[in-house]
Structure formats: structure tokens, C-alpha cells
Structure 1
């Protein structure tokens, strides 16, 4: 029996400062207060640096737009940097250079959940408040993590793909790089979700090294070994882009269903052309906005947030829903002016992780 998919979207309240009130009552202090109070007395703006997972990616551009919007509203100074590739060996020295410039806070999307622990600890040891955004590390040393609920997103991707293929057939996952917290969790949630569909054959996953060309090659090879492939889940923008290209080149669009995590301009074009059948759009603007909001709250009060794991939402984008303004506002952009034109602004409630 077919299940009805609950296409839902959740977003945060830009007017609500989620953070330190509960911990303030407990007197929790993570950093020395003298410097913060002196800065407040001088009325100097807090300096916050956002370190993206990779520069130029529309997801991170949208995140930076949200961060800048919050900084403008709260009177903070924001700088945005990022490595040229999603690679911890490039991100770690970038973080070290930022630490030398002594900002008040750093928001970082760690490129590896293990390799970035030590560099982040160095920033904390230097007296800098560190928040992880989008991705996380295998340690609780950061003040807080603001991200999508990626396991749940993976489960929803499984449900969406199951509906598209009639709950039967072979499915395959194109992942990006092992060790990235977000995509690891999306795959985890996807495979958990498949357990509800006994007639779907799980063909596992392969990694594209965050390269759309490599993703296309992987899918081409899979189509050769499994010509009856029914569906593909791409765990991030580049994996899904490559998968869609391979499907189109094979002339199988509409026959092999593709569900893609993320909603960049290329993926939207692929959705509109029929090579991708559904997009799971995160809310990167909200993540960036919330990160700066929480950083300013923390710097102003010097107390730990009440919630250290905060999740924003997601929106399911299909051919039928893409023109809905409540959905379109969450499509990723290459320039912040596109968000302003769409009227995107988080207006609902923050969703703390359980």
C-alpha cells in the first residue's frame, strides 16, 4: 500500500534569540568575561568569521547571506572565508590563519569530523568562541552546533524515492566523501528509511569525492551492472548533479528516478527538465542567521546556550511545488540579492534537537 508523503517545511524565528538564558541561571561560564565586558563598554562591534566548507558552493553562499543578515541586524562585523575544495587539509590552515587574527567568534562548517577537532581546539584555546554550522565534529568542544537534521532528511529521501518508484526496485546512493558528518548521516537515515520497504533492493553506496564528474562516472558504471536500476539518492549537490547528468546521457530520465539533497541552481534546472524528480532543500540561510544570532548572544552574556544542538528545517521541492513562494524561498542562491528578491526570511520557530 502506498504511503502519503508528508511534504513539510520548518524554519526558524529570526526574532528569537535561542541560547543562554537557562545556562545563565546555572552560572555556566565558558570564557573569561573581562574582555567581553570591556568591548561592550566601548560599544565596539563583535567580529565574527564564518569559515565555509568550500567557497563558491551555493549552499554556503546562502548560509553566508543569512549570517550577514543577522550581523547587520545585530551590529556585528562578519567576514566570510572558505577553502577552494571541501578538504580538511585546506580548511585547517585557513582556520589557523583566522585564529591569528583573533576574532571574537568563529562559525565553521568542519570538513572532517575527526581531523578538524585539533584545529578547532586550538581556536578555543586562543579564547575564541567556536560554533559549528552545517557539519560537526566528534567532540562537544564547540559552544553549539546549528544544522539540519540530516538523519531525518535521509529518511525522508528514502520515503520520497520509494513513492516515486512504486515501492519496488533497485536503488543506489551516490555519496560524497567518507567522514563528513552531514552526508554520513543522510546515508544513515536513507538506509534506515529503506527498511520500511521490503520490495526495494538496496545496492549500497559509492563515494564521488565531492566531484560531479566522478559521480556521473559512478552512475554510468552502475547502469551497466544494473540496467534495471529504479532510483538514485544523491547525498549532496555535486553527487546529485553528476547522477542526473549520467541519467540524462543514458536517455533514462523519467525511468530512473533521482532524489537529490540540496537545491542549488543546477539542481533546480534538472528538476524543471525532469532529470531530477525531487529535491530536499535545507535552510542554509537560517543556519547562518542562527549561527550569528547565537554567537552574539553568547558573546553578550558569556553563558552557554540552553540548547547546544539546534536544528533548522528542510523543504521538499517537486515540479508541483517549486513555484510555491514558501518553497521557492529556500532554493539556494549564488548572490544574496537573489534572496532579497525572493523575500526569504526565517519567520517561524527554532527547532532544538531532541
Structure 2
């Protein structure tokens, strides 16, 4: 998997401070933030790409659950997916000697050894996706298998021949690939009249996505279907389609529900949003950590992959359903305030 260039220490600190402000948390020493003043249990969260509303919403959900339980939740964040900056955040978090940790690894192999070490010291680690090898206490699975949405996806495919493209985010993330590849495979099997263009990887970069999709619309005037695997890809695709004057002529199936995507959905530029349960992921991670900490007061070594959790469901949102209570609960936030 490719990673972004590491930012300078000064820029990184400033960016982290900005993220923490967005998340509505108060700062603490060591580059973390604390969501609760309770000190009976200390939880640490290590989050990359933390300016993304998805991860802000995950943190909001975790903060809320920690506060309700009277635990202290501190965050150590990176504004990019850089392996180096993630490593710095992880080190800062471990130096606080937390009772439990939540981790969102963008490279499954990066923290496997370190997590195994924490688990051996009685510190449970819950990750957003599996590590390789799996040394975490558990991960929080999402029902992101695109096979679950094939019928709904096929219904929005434009009639007649044309072409389609998938925007895959970053290469080498199996959980992400599972969202869009089954949809692409279904088109290949059921709609041979549609030409499937090579997958475009845009590194979770809105500007890069906009430029690539704009180029595709020029090179392939028959482009009529876009799958956007994440929020940044959805935003970029919507911007390019709107700029080209093709809103409503090019269908966009986009994952996530960041504010810009929701605006594009309401405007008729995005056709469908498949929202991951961001807030529920954060709260579920905290609940799982607190249960294990409570059941292991002597900090005995923690068994890897002990609990097997049911995948959290996604919410399908259209222009007609976006104002429903179910859809509103699934939308992502720019801040935890309010």
C-alpha cells in the first residue's frame, strides 16, 4: 500500500490540534485529547486520516460512550495515512500506559507486533480492521460486503450501453475492496453491454479524484456509472460530474455520508449513499474495551481475537430517504459539538 509523505513535526502538531478542535474535545499534554475527566479507566485512541468526517464521527461515538461510562478517552491522531506519523501517534499513546486502546490501522501489518506486546501486558486493543497477523483483541467488522447491495445497485444502472468506473481509494485494503468489487463483478456478469474501465486509485484525495473523473468524462463520453468507495472519492466524483454538466446523466453510487456527499445527494448529483455506521463503530469499540478491562482487573495477558462480533450494518440513503430518522442518524459529522 502506498503512503503519503510524512509532514513536518510543526505542521503535524498544528494539524492534530485542528482535528481535535473539530472533534469538540479539550486538549491535554502529549498531543492527545480527553473526552472525559474520569480517571478510573484510561482509554487511548490512535487514528489516522483524522480530518475525514468519518473518523471524526467514529471519535464522537467513542467519546460519548466513554463519557457515559465515566472513563477517560484520549486521542492521538494523524491528519494523513502516513505510516511514520501513525507510528508517532501510536508511540505517544502507549507512553500514557492506557488500560485499553482503539486503533485504525491503514496498513494491517504495521502494528501487529506492537499490539501483540500490549496484549501481553494485559492491555486489550480493538482495531477498526483486522491486523495481519491478527494480534488484536478483536476488530469491529462492518457489513461492507458489496454482495449485499447488488440488487439495489443494479437498479440504478442506466439503461443501454455505456461505461463505468470504480474509484478504489488506496490499493491493498481488503475491507475497502470488498465494498465495490462485488458490484463491478455483478455488472460484468449481468450487463455485458457496459464497458468496465480500469479502477482508479485516488488516495482519498478529493482534488485528485475530481481531476481524474473530469478526465474520464472527457475521454469516455459514454461514462454513465461511477462507484466511489469512500467519502473523498464520492465528493470528487460529484464535483467533476456537476462541473461537466452531467448531473443526473451519470449515476454515482458512493460509500460514506460526509456532509459534502449529503449535499450532492440532495442536489441530485449523487444517486445513492451507502453510509457506514461510524458513530456506532466508536461506541462499540469503547464498550468492548471496557467489558474486557472490567473482566481482567489483574491485567493478565489478553487473548487475541477472543470475541467474534457481528458486522455492523450500513444504511442505504437516497434523496427520498435522506431526511428520515434512520438516515439522519447515519450521517457523518465535522464536529462533535451539539
Question: TM-score of the superposition, structure 2-length normalised?
Answer: 0.80
**Deviation sequence 1:59-108 (CA, Å, 0-9, x none):** 11111121112112222111122111122222122102211211011101
- Mapped to 2, the partners of 1:283 and 1:94 lie a distance apart of 24
Distance verdict in 2 for CA 1:113–1:79, change over 3 Å = same
Q: Which residue of 2 aligns with 1:180?
A: 173
**Residue in 1 that maps onto 2:32:** none
Match of 1:331 in 2: 331
The RMSD of aligned alpha carbons is 2.2
Q: Which runs of 5+ in 2 are unaligned?
A: 1-37, 297-301
CA contact (8 A) 2:264 2:270 kept: yes
Pick one of 282, 285, 291 that aligns with 1:297.
291
| Conserved 8 A contact 1:283-1:314 | yes
- How far does residue 167 in structure 1 lie from its aligned partner after superposition? 6.0
Which of 84, 90, 93 does residue 95 from structure 1 map onto? 90
**Contact 1:315-1:327 within 8 A present in 2 as well:** yes
State the partner residue of 1:73.
68
Q: Output the CA distance in 1 between the equivalents of 2:185 and 2:290.
A: 37
Q: In the aligned structure 1, how far is the partner of 2:189 from the partner of 2:255?
A: 20
Aligned partner of 2:311 in structure 1 is 311
Inter-partner Cα distance in structure 1 for 2:96 and 2:118: 11
Residues 1:288 and 1:141: Cα distance change in structure 2 (over 3 Å) = same
Q: Could you state the TM-score of these two structures normalised by the residue count of structure 1? A: 0.77
In 2, Cα distance between the equivalents of 1:177 and 1:123? Answer: 28
C-alpha change, 1:296 and 1:268, in structure 2 (3 Å) is same
Higher relative contact order (CA 8 A, sep 6+): 1
Distance change in 2, residues 1:158/1:244 (3 Å): farther
Q: Deviations over 1:166-206 (max 9, x none)?
A: 46532111121112343222233333443552334322311
Give the corresponding residue for 1:345: none
1:223-263 Cα distance to aligned partner (Å, 9 max, x none): 23321011001100111111111111111110011111000
Partner of residue 109, structure 1: 104
Mark the CA change 1:156 to 1:229 in structure 2 (over 3 Å): closer, same or farther: farther
CA distance in 1: counterparts of 2:174 and 2:78, whole angstroms? 18
Which aligned runs of 4 or more in structure 1 are off by greater than 6 angstroms? none
Paired positions, count: 293
**Matches of 1:88 and 1:310, distance apart in 2:** 29
Structure 1 stretches of 5 or more lacking a match?
1-42, 339-354
User: How many angstroms does 1:270 deviate by?
Assistant: 0.7
Aligned partners of 1:250, 1:182: CA distance in 2, in Å?
31
Q: Distance in 2 between matches of 1:185 and 1:223?
A: 25
Distance in 2 (alpha carbons) for counterparts of 1:53 and 1:158? 30
